[in-house]
Amino acid sequence: MVELKNKNALITGASSGIGEAIVNSLAEKGVNLCLIGRNVKKLTQIKERFKSLSIKIELYEADLSKEEELKGIADFFTSNFSTLDILIHSAGIISTGSTEQAPVIDLKLHLNINYIAPYIITQSLLPVMRKSKGQIVFVNSSAIQRPIGNLGQYSSSKYALKGLADSLREEINADGIRVTSIYPGKTASVMQKRLYHESNKPYQPEKLLQPEDIAITIRNILQLPMTAEITEIFIRPMQKS
């Protein structure tokens, strides 16, 4: 198994949900962390939680929907860390609306956060990642498995993310970099709670995937020996909600 202690990781969407659970899981393994998110107060609280551990944690406040705020991420990371071993794209948004009525501005927001931000961040960090022969993980969605009405904007952005991951894998496997897409089903989160309320359905988080389920799965993928690569994982709740 690959030893994670003292590895360096950059995680987007680190202040809540799946992203925060990933942070917790990797911190426990002694991974140094660069946390990207809009809520710097929450990121600071997370950093404070791990002050007793001998790991390095740096925070970068950014709105991933704004391209100008993405450009400083690579410079910030390379000025604070010598290598990049793990890059995890966990940030994402979702909103509902029919193709006929959903505003185009919402489509652009989905594409900016769910697809363009991972593209730009990955592109800017590939040179440093080649040095460490690390791993990139894209947190996608099981929404790509079947058509879902009123989620066209979200699904489109996630299909685009899958295309990015699959093409990237073909380009950089030869450099020793692994690329994994993970496709969670419905996961207990503030975002999922909002969707249930919007559809007038009872929200029962105990019947959904837990963010920790995704985090543990990703950690296990990262620890896999370098002789193997998991390209895709679909994970779903055991119970129907």
- Domains assigned to the chain: 8-231 (3.40.50.720)
- pLDDT at 156 exceeding the cut of 70: yes
Q: What is the pLDDT of residue 71?
A: 87
Question: In this predicted structure, what is the pLDDT of residue 127?
Answer: 96
d(CA 122, CA 120): 5
Specify the DSSP element, H or E, that contains 35.
Answer: strand 32-37
- Answer for the pair 144, 162: CB distance below 8 angstroms, yes or no: yes
Supply the DSSP symbol for 181. E
Check whether 171 has a pLDDT greater than 90. Answer: yes
Tell me, what's the pLDDT at 195? 86
Catalytic residue among 154, 159, 196, 203: 154
Average pLDDT, integer, range 189-216: 92
Pairwise CA distance, residues 185 & 121, whole Å: 25
Summarize pLDDT for 19-63 with one digit per residue, the tens: 999 999 999 999 999 999 999 999 999 999 999 999 999 999 999
Report which listed range, 120-129, 138-147, 200-209, is most confident: 120-129
pLDDT digits (tens, 9 = 90+) for 77-133: 999 999 999 999 999 999 999 999 999 999 999 999 999 999 999 999 999 999 999
* Distances in whole angstroms, Cα of residue 131 to Cα of each of 36, 82, 128: 22, 10, 6
Q: What's the pTM?
A: 0.96
Residue 226 CA, distance from chain mean position: 21
pLDDT of res. 150: 93
How far apart are alpha carbons 36 and 114 in whole angstroms? 14
Residues in CB range of 147: below 8 A, 6 or more apart: 155
Instruction: Give the contacts of 57 (CB within 8 A, at least 6 positions apart).
Output: 27, 32, 33, 34, 35, 46, 47, 50
Q: Do the beta carbons of residue 84 and residue 8 sit within 8 Å?
A: yes
- Residue of 233, 196, 193 lying closest to 214 (CA atoms): 233
Contact call for residues 215 and 21 (beta carbons, < 8 A): yes
Do the Cβ atoms of 97 and 150 come closer than 8 Å?
Answer: yes
Is 119 tagged catalytic? no
| Beta strand 135-139 pairing with 178-184 | parallel
pLDDT score of 147:
81
Say if residue 241's pLDDT is above 70.
Answer: no
Q: Which of 104, 98, 93 is nearest to 141 (CA)?
A: 93
Which residues are CB-neighbours of 34 under 8 A, at least 6 positions away? 8, 9, 10, 11, 57, 58, 59, 60, 76, 77, 80, 81
How far apart CA 9 and CA 77 sit, in angstroms, is 10
